[in-house]
Amino acid sequence: MLEESILSLELPYRDPFDVRAFSFGIDTSGKALGKGGDASALERSLCVVAGIRGDEVMQTLVCALLVERLEKMERSKELTPGHLVQVIPCANPASMGIGRRFWPLDKTDINRSFPGSSNGETTQRIAAGLFEQVRDFTFGIHLSSFYLEGDFIPHVRVMHGPGERGNHGADFCMPFVTHYEPGSFDTTTLHYNWRLCGTEAYSFYTRKTTVADEGIARDAVRSLLRFMGARCLTRHRAHGGSQSFELAERALVPVQVPAGGVCCSAVRVGSVVEKGQLLATIRDLLCGRVTARVVSPCDGVIFYQARTPLVNEQTLVFQIAPDNVDEVPISLA
């Protein structure tokens, strides 16, 4: 294992911004990186990035446990020789250190700053510096979070559109592989820019974001190891997992609440629901009166659940993966 600083920047009245990367690989002479192994002789096969936003704690924990695991696998020669695997557990320590999701000074989202610019604004420079280090890998996995707060069925997302290439999302053996058509604000994400530059990219969504749950994190590490095994980067096969269902994200059925109030949910992420089944009750926050009952519009599985207990009128509280998705085709070149 080779630990190195890949990006640093002076911060006013704070220690410098310092992004650490952990690289793994065994060269053809059998030497591991950091123990005389030659990184330049390795194929840049996989890069895993997390913590671009400072509240993506679970994502960083997943990477940390992956680092621990890969170090052991490197020692026991379970890594396939000739491949470089790089893990960046926390790409934005300046925000994570003070509990902020976005950049401390101007609240910029670094995952809306790619590919960045080396002589631009601070966050543009960080994005550019980071991108320089993570580009030109065969596979790229970004452990990301959604712009709405909530819990997800674990899944990987593949994006259609420019730079579209092969889809090995099912190799993670997560319950779902979702297919997504990028909108205008997706063009500045790491995923989008990775793909434009020839990397087969995946966004990886864990069940939760802002908490540290070792059980959830270990499940996620196993998904990553299954992908690595299937792509012949390791000799190790993590067993278990699901047969992934490929789903177009626009087939997800949104469930919004008809009134504001306190939302008491009757189901959880992963619950199987039937059309007409009670999903949540909305009560008046002050007098407790039930003002609305939210029922399922279809048969399916709860895919997303908003975390906020207090809801506005029309808040998206659930997305349901419907049983009947035949009418929404997916296509990937």
Partner 1 sequence: MRKDVSVRELPTGERMRIVKHRYMPVGLSEAEVSYLPRACIVTGMHGDELEGQYVVYELVRRLRSQPQHLAGVVDVYPAVNPMGIGAIERGIPKFDLDMDRIFPGSHDASPFEAMAADLVEDVRGAQVAFDLHASNIYLQELPQIRVNEQSAQRLLPLARQANVDYVWVHESAVVLNGTFAYSMNSLGVPTLVVKAGVGMRITPEVGEQLAIGILSVLAQAGVWTGPLPLVRAPRVGTDNEVSYLHAEAAGMFVPCVQFGRDVAQGQVIGHILDCGSAEVLQELCSPVDGLIFTLRAYPLVYPGNLIARVLGGSPC
Residues 247-286 that bind partner 1 (CB under 8 A): 254, 256, 259-262, 284-286
Q: Which of 316, 325, 328, 332 binds partner 1 (CB under 8 A)?
A: 316
Report if residue 311 touches partner 1, rule: CB under 8 A: yes
Locate 274 and state its tokens: 């039937």
Rounded to an integer, what distance in angstroms lies between the CA atom of residue 174 and that of residue 183?
A: 25
Rounded to an integer, what distance in angstroms lies between the CA atom of residue 220 and that of residue 141?
A: 12
Q: How far is the CB of 219 from partner 1 (least distance, A)?
A: 26
Q: How far is the CB of 264 from partner 1 (least distance, A)?
A: 12
Closest to partner 1 by CB, 271 vs 315, is 315
Please say whether the beta carbons of 141 and 49 come within 8 A.
yes
Q: Which of 2, 6, 11, 328 binds partner 1 (CB under 8 A)?
A: 11
Q: How far is the CB of 109 from partner 1 (least distance, A)?
A: 8
Per-residue contact track with partner 1, 75 to 94, x per CB under 8 A?
--------------------
3-state secondary structure (DSSP) of residue 47: strand
φ, ψ for residue 110, nearest 5 deg:
-65, -30
Rounded to an integer, what distance in angstroms lies between the CA atom of residue 95 and that of residue 101?
A: 6
What are the C-alpha distances in Å from 109 to residues 116, 137, 158, 246?
12, 24, 21, 29
Q: How far is the CB of 1 from partner 1 (least distance, A)?
A: 30
Part of the chain binding partner 1 (CB under 8 A), chosen from 134-142, 179-187, 216-224, 228-236: 179-187
Residues 186-205 that bind partner 1 (CB under 8 A): none
Closest to partner 1 by CB, 153 vs 252, is 252
DSSP structure string for 291-306:
EEEEE-SSSEEEEEEE
Residues 122-141 that bind partner 1 (CB under 8 A): 122-125
Q: What is the helix, strand, coil percentage profile of the chain, to 5?
A: 25, 30, 45
Closest to partner 1 by CB, 196 vs 262, is 262
Q: How far is the CB of 265 from partner 1 (least distance, A)?
A: 14
Rounded to an integer, what distance in angstroms lies between the CA atom of residue 90 and that of residue 21?
A: 9
Please say whether the beta carbons of 80 and 40 come within 8 A.
no
Part of the chain binding partner 1 (CB under 8 A), chosen from 102-110, 207-215, 269-277, 293-301: 102-110
Q: Residues in contact with partner 1, total (CB under 8 A)?
A: 38
Q: Which of 138, 210, 242, 315 binds partner 1 (CB under 8 A)?
A: 315
Q: How far is the CB of 198 from partner 1 (least distance, A)?
A: 21
Please, what sign has the CA dihedral across residues 325, 203, 77, 61? Answer: negative
What are the C-alpha distances in Å from 200 to residues 79, 203, 273, 296, 304?
20, 11, 34, 36, 25
Closest to partner 1 by CB, 94 vs 228, is 94
Rounded to an integer, what distance in angstroms lies between the CA atom of residue 115 and that of residue 123?
A: 11
Closest to partner 1 by CB, 122 vs 234, is 122
Pairing between β-strand 2-11 and β-strand 310-311 as defined by DSSP bridges: unpaired
Q: Which of 5, 77, 148, 290 binds partner 1 (CB under 8 A)?
A: 148
Which residues of the chain form contacts with partner 1 (CB under 8 A)? 9-12, 101, 105-107, 109, 119-125, 147-148, 183-185, 254, 256, 259-262, 284-286, 308, 310-316
